[in-house]
Structure 1
Amino acid sequence: MMADNTAAIETEALPATDEARGAKRNKMLRILGLVVLVAALIWGAWYFLTQSGRVHTDNAYVGADSAVVTALVSGPVKEVRVAGTQAVRKGDILVILDDSDAKLALADAEATLRQARQRYGQAGANADAARARVSARGADIAQAQARLRDANATVAKARAELARRESIAGTGAVSGEDLAAARAAFVSATAARDLAAAGIASAEATRGSASGDLGAAEALVRGTTIQTAPDVAAAQARLEKAQLDLARTVIRAPVDGIVTNKQVQVGQRIAAGAPIMTIVPIDTAYVDANYKESQFEDIRIGQPVELVSDYYGGDVVFHGKVVGIAGGTGAAFSLIPAQNATGNWVKVVQRLPVRIALDPKELKAHPLRVGLSMEATIDTRGN
């Protein structure tokens, strides 16, 4: 009898235990749901307050406006003072070319300039000499004119003597010998007059020739100085070019940066215009972030950006700002642009590069290298 009562009591206790367990499980589920709901609300509030309006991409890469170093004159390489990956400052000597030919060209240009200056001085002296000859010919003309006046007076006197003797020749007062002498004197005076007149013409012709020489000599120096004379200026320009070519045998760094892609060795003969190395100015590096076209609704120039690089890890956060948006997608300017006017066209989301300028202080503290990948997040909440 007692065994039956015990079994009955145990049978009644089992449903009570299951009900308690179910109630406890339901309570735990409600608590878990409440925790999940609170966590979701907290996460939503955190996302709304900190992440809403932030546009993210990991398709971003470091870039820089690299400087390609080229030889401006040809010649054999005498010395190479830098190696690949070496940091250089603007003005540092990179390569020295053999300057023997350049020095010879400079000496030749200096001699040409001295010769041009000498010729200009000679032209000035010739002009002065021609001017003196013109003045001398003027004096010759004046002297010839004086002789002509004297000859005219002599002719007039001889004519008067001849006329007087001829007027009294019939009276027997003048002998035939005196009359002949008077006629000879008149003829001689007339000849002397004609000779004096010819002397004036000759002197004037000589002065004309001297004036022509003077014009030719003055044309070489008229309106110029020894600095502006064409031959002297041309020789000066040639000298300056020779000096420039000599200076260009020493190739210097055009910017601060890191030497990369070095393609020059000692003894190599390089041609003018040949690239010999590239200098990457890492201090002015920037980031090109390629965002999807669907992300551009709120992106504007001037917005702040946070960037993280695998090179330094998540502990180093770079700060920058949007400074430009490309005028077209990369596919639009590719060598073979995509042709979407086909029957099997499939839409592909395009990406547009966004140029991001980095904080120079942060960049100096943590230098980057061209081509490194970045993760960029633009804060668009300031729109």
Structure 2
Amino acid sequence: MTVESQNPNNPAAPRKSRLPLPLILLGIAIIGGIAWGAHYYFIDRFYETTDDAYVNGNMVNVASQVSGTVTTVHVANTQYVKEGDVLLELDPTDAQVALDKAVADLGQTVRTVAHAFRVVDVDRANLQYQQTQVVRAKQDLARAMKLAPVNGVSKETLEHTRVDLAAAETSLAQAQTQLNADASLVTGTSVADHPQVKAAEADVRNAFIRLARMKIVAPATGIVAQKTILPGDQITPATPLMTLVPLESVWVDANFKETELRDLRLGQPVELTTDLYGSGETYHGKIIGFSAGTGSAFSVLPPQNATGNWIKVVQRLSVRIGLDPEEIRKNPLSIGLSVDVSADVHDLDGKRLSEVPVFAAGTTTQVFSGQTSGADALIEQTVSANQASAQ
């Protein structure tokens, strides 16, 4: 084995200088801090984000307007229905009987009123007859009085003519009274416009509507949920039948901390992602409203802060975010789903509270307005037929 000799005249090879590890870590931290600060200053500070956000929407509770027995159920949970679709049917037997009776009563009322008009015509004819009788009695009395001084008629005959005139005048007064009484029932009306006929028509219309309500229709377009009804069940107007959820009109309620609300304004754009579709599917919306109070303020037991022991807890306020209808139709969202929200707060010109509505909040349905369809035709037919028969 050989040993290399060391020459003291040859200097050792220079060592590479190394930065101490703490300095390296410090440099990395400084660079990272600068990068984070720049990112926050130029980007992040113009966005408010929260993952405490959920899809919300209207839930239309379906109930019957009348009591009855369910005979047919046409829908099931998760089924899509359109406004006006028949959801279920009730036994129509009693309602049909009630309608038939109302139609019969209307016909009888029309005949009775038509008869009342004919009675008035008879009374007028009788009044004219009694008037002629009075005229004739007066003429007879006048002739008798001319003949009486020359003994042309007996005193008995003269007295009889006076009695006949008094009787004729009494009959005339009775005829006038009868005409006034009968005419008061029909004056200013016709058979079709008579109050009794109108009341009977209202009964027919009411029975017709009740029969129409044996079919319970969807008041809105949406998805069926919470259906609990089955054929054979007895229901009342207070019985919950099912719920319809119109998924095309959902929105998002984002709960921001009160410290994050400073720069939020109505109309600011918002981007949203969900776990359902992942980050690859981004929804776009805008802020359309702020809740009037925090969740704790509207709770069943509001907080009592005027106590000896108090701990401040950061509150959250619900912010409503309207969504793009086209995006919702393309990728529907079910209510209750969680959402990640990022609000762009570059534009601070908007208001926190608008003096006019910023979105169409009203809802309406037209399905119940058609329940009287066909009732007027049935009434007109019944009135015409019975009025003609009563002539």
Task: Note the C-alpha offset of 1:376.
Answer: 1.4
Counterpart of 2:58 in structure 1 is 65
2:284 aligns with one of 295, 308, 319:
319
1:50-76 deviation line (CA, Å, top 9, x unaligned): 332211111111111111110111111
Q: 2: distance between equivalents of 1:198 and 1:328?
A: 95
Corresponding residue SS for 1:128: helix
Q: Show the 5 A alignment for 1:154-303.
A: 154-158=147-151, 188=154, 190-303=155-268
Q: In 1, Cα distance between the equivalents of 2:33 and 2:330?
A: 39
Query: Superposition pairs for residues 41-190 of structure 1, below 5 Å?
Result: 41-158=34-151, 188=154, 190=155
Between stretches 241-250 and 290-299, larger displacement belongs to 290-299
Paired with 2:314 and 2:22, the residues of 1 have a C-alpha distance of 46
Secondary structure of the structure 2 residue equivalent to 1:263 = coil
Corresponding position: 1:368 with 2:333: yes
Q: Could you tell me which residue of structure 2 aligns to residue 171 of structure 1?
A: none
Q: Is the 8 A contact 1:73 1:273 kept in 2?
A: no
- Higher mean C-alpha deviation, range 365-374 or range 269-278: 269-278
Following the alignment from structure 1 to structure 2, what is the Cα–Cα distance between the partners of residues 115 and 5? 141
Residues 4 and 272 of structure 1: is their aligned pair in 2 closer, same or farther, counting only changes over 3 Å?
closer
Superposed displacement of residue 117, structure 1: 0.9
Q: Alpha-carbon deviation of 1:13?
A: 2.0
Higher helix share: 1
Give 1:4 shift.
11
Q: SS where residue 357 of structure 1 aligns?
A: strand
Q: Does 1:349 align with 2:349?
A: no
User: 1:275 is paired with a residue of what secondary structure?
Assistant: coil
Q: Please give the alpha-carbon distance, in whole angstroms, between the structure 1 residues aligned to 2:198 and 2:185.
A: 14
Query: 3-state DSSP class of the match of 2:297?
Result: helix
Q: Helix, strand or coil for the counterpart of 1:317?
A: strand
Residue aligned with 2:201, SS: helix
Residue 350 of structure 1: how far off its partner (Å) = 1.1
Bigger shift: residues 223-232 or 344-353: 223-232
Question: What letter is aligned with 1:82?
Answer: V
Q: Cα 1:379–1:4, aligned 2, differ >3 Å: closer, same or farther?
A: closer
Do residues 13 (structure 1) and 30 (structure 2) align? no
The verdict on how the C-alpha distance between 1:136 and 1:36 changes in structure 2, with shifts beyond 3 A counting, is same
| Consecutive unaligned residues in structure 2, runs of 5 or more | 349-391
Partner of residue 162, structure 1: none
Mapped to 1, the partners of 2:72 and 2:314 lie a distance apart of 52
Shift of 1:274: 1.9
Give, as a single letter, the amino acid of the residue that structure 1 aligns with 2:218: A
Percent pairwise identity? 38
**SS of residue in 1 equivalent to 2:66:** coil
Residue 41 of structure 1, CA deviation? 4.3
Structure 1 residues 4 and 99: alpha-carbon distance in aligned structure 2, compared to 1, 3 A threshold: closer
Indicate the residue corresponding to 1:332 in structure 2.
297
Offset at residue 202 of structure 1 (A): 1.3
1:162-198: per-residue Cα shift (whole Å, max 9, x none)? xxxxxxxxxxxxxxxxxxxxxxx66x1x332232222
Q: For 2:193 and 2:49, how far apart are their aligned partners in 1? A: 65
- Corresponding residue SS for 2:164: helix
Instruction: Identify unmatched segments of 5+ residues in structure 1.
Output: 159-184
Distance 1:191 1:377 in 2: 119
What is aligned with 1:164? none
Q: Deviations over 1:299-356 (max 9, x none)?
A: 1111111111111111111111111111111111111111111111111111111111
Instruction: Label 1:349 to 1:28 Cα distance change in 2 as closer, same or farther (>3 A).
Output: closer
Please list the CA deviations of residues 63-98 of structure 1 after superposition, one character each: whole Å capped at 9, or x if unmatched: 111111101111111100100111111111110111
Establish whether residue 382 from structure 1 lines up as the match of residue 347 from structure 2.
yes
Provide the rounded CA distance (Å) in 2 between the counterparts of 1:28 and 1:353: 46
In structure 2, C-alpha distance between the alignment counterparts of 1:378 and 1:313, rounded to whole Å: 18
Residue 212 of structure 1 aligns to which amino acid in structure 2? Answer: T
Mapped to 1, the partners of 2:126 and 2:58 lie a distance apart of: 69
Q: Aligned-pair distance for 1:200?
A: 1.8
SS at match of 1:52: helix
Give the C-alpha shift of residue 27 in structure 1: 11
Task: State the 1:144 CA deviation.
Answer: 0.6
What amino acid maps onto 1:21 in structure 2?
A: S
The SS at the match of 1:331 is coil
Structure 2: how far apart are the matches of 1:250 and 1:228?
32
Give the letter for the 2:298 counterpart: F
Give 1:141's aligned amino acid.
V
Segment drifting more, 76-85 vs 296-305: 296-305
TM-score scaled by length of structure 2: 0.83
Q: Judging changes above 3 Å, is the alpha-carbon distance between structure 1 residues 117 and 37 closer, same or farther for their aligned structure 2 residues?
A: same
